[in-house]
């Protein structure tokens, strides 16, 4: 039976048993060095784990970064500690990791909340600088300026002024421009 | 003692807070709810409750006739408005009186005198309370605003006469910006309040927002109950409130002068019940009257902590004719309240949505006012506040430490789908509050109103958390475990999501029939 491995940030793990139960314990080899015992208990929002370092709780929400890569937002329970965009790569001992995306970043700018587009300040194909205002949206009776999170070229702009939009709706995309990578 | 029922014309945490005191004093409680609130937590604290209309506040919680009808049906004698909604509408107070109901709060007369910003300015001017220089009333157009701005000097603020909460407000630093700012503020005020009128005010530098809590007996007697400093604001809305005020600790004479001014005005207008005088205090300890809030404030728990009083009990007993104004109570120790909102922690846009899990803090001298328990939905229709967390300790530094622990204990998370991704769009400002309670300017009491803007590390999304390559070993192990466990369970249970959605539809149908 081949062993499962996973990689998270600077850490690579080789699991003695495939962890699939909500509660359990196993040996895991860390960064090709020594093995430690890990006990865990998964709950609805995350996990409690006990290692040689102690007892730790984490909330984990899976999301996608702006380029569509799956990753986790991890918050440590009872601490002021958070990590964003933590990708977990998995594989078995004889193969390469899967899950890493190497494509260039296309930012999909999404509405943070439901509201109405009051003014659109850019056009399709236009090249933006970072933080350039792209549109004004009215939500919760307040006007909010939406800015470009990175430099690039506007594409997929299909909204009209006055249009109502749902939370999470894609507003436009910002594609990287040659020689203008931010 | 058998008392007459109190209708609580509100929802959320404040309805629960009022209901608790009603029950302690023996007033039967009557709740109201909109169609969107049929399952809301606040109804569980009321002896009976009445539906007053559709989700939109205008159609339900602001619907004077429906609220009064509910009071009649319930044979209620009193109406407590909470804060927001009908709490500062003089016409509602008139309507209550006409309907033979007792409004728990100030008279319509003092609401008109002090609640309207322009009327209030005239009232305090007559009593020589200092005020920020600005236009005498609403300005006709951008030209008039420009002329006044030249007189008093830039920077200035444009504010909606009907406004509050920062809506329809703009800072203008120069004459060139004025036209577009005027247009924007007018549109926003029109949208939010149905009234686009604006006035002009000089912008005070190094400003602190300090307010004096007063309580009047309606006969010309009034006392103060100390101050609250609410300087830390985002989008001109308070997010951190404390007593005593750090800036007034540096200027004790200013504190006494502000107490005296607030009580003088409250006595003059024969103010009844709880009210708050908002002032701006500059870095030199000069104070200017801003406005009066003729209601109970969101942040009243801070005053309750330092005075040991129950302000709602005072309001109810005064309304019932059983209240005698005591001496100014002693204030002890230090209290801080923070507001936990469903909003993005970086730009503070509201981000309501369903809550999958909530854990609010507890422990010695920790208070959590909230209407969210196990799970629920932060509704798009209403204020996105999730909870008010407040603490007390003998010293400010100890209160901050207590608040830090309380915030680290707090969890508010969206429901997760099978694959571990968030369901809905809920975000909270919890990570922001955790940074705020550790911020050096906050710890030092340098709490000017621009604190959040001055400390971009509080809101910078790139600094908000450690990058993934900094992840600790336990966190990495946790991520790997959760990933593997969720992956292995999600493939086999694809079907159950459909079932969940249809039971929600079933519930929706059932609830629809019940009304």
Query: What pLDDT is stored for residue A23 in this prediction?
Result: 94
CA separation for the pair B505, B488 (Å, rounded): 29
Which residue did the predictor score with more confidence, B99 or A131?
B99
**Residues 6 or more apart in contact with residue B237 via CB below 8 angstroms:** B165, B166
Query: What pLDDT is stored for residue B300 in this prediction?
Result: 98
| Closest CB to B351 among A47, A62, A113 | A113
Average pLDDT of chain B is: 91
**Residues 6 or more apart in contact with residue B100 via CB below 8 angstroms:** none
Query: What pLDDT is stored for residue B33 in this prediction?
Result: 97
Which residue did the predictor score with more confidence, B306 or A69?
B306
Q: Which of A82-91, B131-140, B199-208, B355-364 has the highest mean pLDDT?
A: B355-364
**Residues 6 or more apart in contact with residue B157 via CB below 8 angstroms:** B169, B170, B171, B172, B200, B201, B202, B203
pLDDT, tens digit (0-9, with 9 covering 90-100), for B345-374: 988 999 999 999 999 999 999 999 999 988
Tell me: pLDDT of B515 over 50.
no
Query: What pLDDT is stored for residue A95 in this prediction?
Result: 66
Q: Of A66-70, B64-68, B509-513, which range is least confident?
A: B509-513
The tokens of B172 are what? 């203008």
Contacts with B164 from chain A: Cβ below 8 Å: none
| B423 at A interface, C-beta within 8 A | no
Is the sign of the CA dihedral B242, B246, B249, B251 positive or negative? negative
**Residues 6 or more apart in contact with residue A176 via CB below 8 angstroms:** A104, A105, A106, A150, A152, A153, A182
CB B145 within 8 A of CB B197: no
Measured distance between the N- and C-terminal CA atoms of chain A, rounded to whole angstroms:
45
Q: Of B295, B339, B396, B402, which residue is the catalytic one?
A: B295
Percent above pLDDT 90 for chain B: 78
Nearest chain A CA: its distance from B291 CA (Å): 22
Rounded average pLDDT over B206-222 = 97
| B24: helix, strand or coil | helix
Determine, for residues B476 and A8 on separate chains, whether the beta-carbon distance falls below 8 Å. yes
Query: What pLDDT is stored for residue B191 in this prediction?
Result: 83
Taking residue B493's Cβ as centre, other Cβ atoms within 10 Å add up to: 9
CA separation for the pair B398, B392 (Å, rounded): 8
Output b/e per residue, B88-104; b: 16+ Cβ within 10 A: bbbebbbbbeeeebbbb
Q: Name the residue among B324, B319, B259 with its Cα closest to residue B107.
A: B319
Number of A–B residue contacts, CB under 8 Å: 187
Query: What pLDDT is stored for residue A99 in this prediction?
Result: 56
Contacts with B435 from chain A: Cβ below 8 Å: 80
Q: In chain B, whose CA is at the least distance from the CA of A38?
A: B477
Determine, for residues A142 and B347 on separate chains, whether the beta-carbon distance falls below 8 Å. no
Rounded average pLDDT over A24-48 = 94
Tell me: pLDDT of B427 over 90.
yes
Which residue did the predictor score with more confidence, B297 or B514?
B297
| B410: helix, strand or coil | coil
> Catalytic residue at B332?
no
Q: Name the residue among B497, B3, B458, B445 with its Cα closest to residue B243.
A: B445
Query: What pLDDT is stored for residue A85 in this prediction?
Result: 86
Which residue did the predictor score with more confidence, A144 or B38?
B38
Which candidate in A7, A83, A116, A119 is best for mutational testing of the B interface (most B CBs within 10 A)? Answer: A83
Assembly ipTM: 0.77
Query: What pLDDT is stored for residue A67 in this prediction?
Result: 64
- B194 Ramachandran zone, left/alpha/beta (phi>0; psi -120 to 50): left
CA separation for the pair B17, B514 (Å, rounded): 27
Query: What pLDDT is stored for residue A181 in this prediction?
Result: 41
Tell me: pLDDT of B207 over 50.
yes
Tell me: pLDDT of B184 over 60.
yes
Rounded average pLDDT over A100-111 = 65
CA separation for the pair B419, B112 (Å, rounded): 55
Predicted TM-score (pTM) of the model is: 0.80
Contacts with A20 from chain B: Cβ below 8 Å: 484-485, 488-489
Tell me: pLDDT of B78 over 90.
yes
CB B117 within 8 A of CB B199: yes
Query: What pLDDT is stored for residue A101 in this prediction?
Result: 43
| Closest CB to B380 among A15, A19, A114 | A114
| Pairing mode, strands A152-155 and A170-175 | antiparallel
CB B16 within 8 A of CB B42: yes
Rounded average pLDDT over A149-163 = 85
**Which pLDDT band, with edges at 50, 70 and 90, does B502 fall under?**
very low
Rounded average pLDDT over B385-413 = 97
Is the sign of the CA dihedral B296, B300, B301, B305 positive or negative? negative
| Closest CB to B471 among A9, A38, A63 | A9
Determine, for residues B471 and A143 on separate chains, whether the beta-carbon distance falls below 8 Å. no
SS3 content of chain A, % helix, strand, coil (to 5): 0, 55, 45
Contacts with B483 from chain A: Cβ below 8 Å: 6, 72, 88, 90
Query: What pLDDT is stored for residue B496 in this prediction?
Result: 41
Q: Of A104-108, A127-131, B112-116, B246-250, which range is least confident?
A: A104-108
Contacts with A46 from chain B: Cβ below 8 Å: 478, 482
Q: Which B positions 61-90 lie with beta carbon below 8 A of chain A?
A: none
Tell me: pLDDT of B103 over 70.
yes
Q: Of B49-53, B161-165, B340-344, B484-488, which range is least confident?
A: B161-165
Nearest chain A CA: its distance from B472 CA (Å): 9
Which residue did the predictor score with more confidence, A144 or B449?
B449
Exposed/middle/buried for residue B283 (C-beta within 10 Å: 0-12, 13-18, 19+): middle
């Amino acid at each position: 039976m081949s062993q499962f491995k996973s990689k998270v940030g600077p850490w690579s793990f080789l699991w003695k048993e495939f962890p699939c139960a909500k509660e359990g314990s196993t040996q895991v080899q860390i960064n090709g060095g020594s093995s430690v015992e890990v006990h865990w208990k998964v709950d609805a929002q995350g996990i409690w784990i006990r290692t040689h370092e102690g007892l730790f709780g984490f909330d984990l929400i899976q999301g996608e970064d702006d380029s569509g890569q799956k990753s986790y937002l991890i918050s440590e329970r009872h601490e002021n500690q958070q990590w964003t965009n933590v990708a977990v790569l998995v594989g078995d001992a004889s193969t390469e990791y899967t899950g890493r995306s190497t494509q260039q970043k296309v930012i999909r700018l999404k509405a943070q909340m439901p509201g109405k587009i009051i003014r659109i300040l850019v056009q399709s194909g236009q090249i933006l600088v970072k933080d350039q205002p792209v549109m004004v949206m009215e939500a919760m009776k307040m006007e909010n300026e939406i800015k470009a999170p990175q430099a690039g070229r506007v594409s997929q702009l299909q909204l009209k002024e006055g249009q109502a939009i749902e939370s999470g709706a894609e507003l436009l995309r910002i594609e990287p421009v040659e020689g203008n990578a931010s | 003692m058998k008392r007459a029922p109190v209708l609580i014309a509100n929802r959320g945490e404040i309805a629960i807070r009022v209901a608790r005191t009603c029950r302690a004093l023996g007033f039967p409680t009557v709740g109201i709810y909109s169609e969107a609130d049929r399952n809301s937590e606040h109804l569980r604290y009321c002896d009976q409750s009445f539906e007053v209309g559709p989700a939109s506040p205008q159609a339900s919680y602001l619907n004077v006739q429906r609220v009064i009808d509910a009071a009649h049906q319930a044979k209620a004698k009193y109406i407590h408005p909470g804060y927001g909604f009908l709490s500062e509408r003089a016409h509602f107070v008139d309507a209550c009186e006409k309907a033979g109901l007792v409004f728990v709060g100030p008279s319509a007369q003092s609401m008109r005198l002090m609640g309207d910003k322009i009327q209030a300015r005239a009232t305090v001017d007559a009593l020589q309370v200092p005020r920020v220089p600005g236009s005498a009333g609403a300005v006709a157009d951008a030209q008039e605003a420009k002329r006044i701005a030249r007189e008093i000097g830039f920077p200035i603020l444009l504010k909606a006469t009907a406004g509050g909460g920062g809506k329809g407000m703009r800072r203008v630093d120069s004459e060139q910006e004025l036209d577009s700012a005027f247009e924007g503020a007018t549109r926003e005020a029109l949208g939010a309040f149905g009234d686009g009128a604006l006035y002009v005010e000089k912008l005070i530098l190094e400003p602190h927002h300090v307010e004096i809590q007063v309580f009047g007996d309606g006969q010309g007697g009034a006392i103060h109950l100390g101050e609250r400093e609410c300087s830390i604001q985002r989008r001109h809305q308070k997010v951190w409130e404390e007593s005593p005020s750090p800036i007034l600790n540096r200027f004790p004479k200013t504190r006494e002068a502000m107490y005296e001014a607030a009580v003088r005005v409250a006595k003059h207008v024969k103010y009844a019940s709880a009210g708050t005088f908002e002032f701006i205090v500059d870095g030199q300890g000069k104070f200017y009257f801003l406005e009066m809030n003729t209601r109970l404030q969101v942040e009243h728990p801070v005053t309750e902590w330092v005075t040991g009083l129950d302000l709602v009990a005072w309001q109810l007993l005064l309304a019932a004719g059983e209240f005698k104004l005591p001496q100014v109570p002693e204030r002890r120790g230090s209290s801080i309240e923070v507001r936990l909102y469903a909003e993005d922690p970086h730009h503070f846009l509201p981000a309501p949505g369903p809550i999958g899990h909530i854990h609010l803090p507890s422990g010695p001298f920790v208070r959590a006012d909230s209407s969210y328990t196990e799970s629920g939905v932060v509704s798009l229709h209403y204020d996105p506040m999730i909870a008010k967390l407040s603490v007390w300790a003998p010293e400010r530094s100890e209160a901050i430490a207590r608040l830090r622990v309380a915030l680290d204990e707090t969890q508010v998370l969206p429901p997760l789908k099978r694959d571990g991704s968030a369901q809905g769009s809920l975000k909270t400002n919890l990570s922001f509050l955790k940074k705020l309670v550790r911020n050096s300017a906050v710890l030092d009491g340098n709490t000017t109103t621009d604190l959040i803007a001055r400390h971009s590390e509080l809101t910078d999304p790139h600094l908000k958390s450690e990058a993934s390559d900094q992840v600790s070993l336990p966190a990495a192990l946790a991520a790997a475990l959760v990933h593997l466990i969720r992956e292995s369970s999600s493939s086999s249970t694809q079907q159950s999501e459909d079932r969940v959605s249809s039971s929600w539809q079933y519930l929706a149908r059932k609830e629809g029939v019940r009304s």
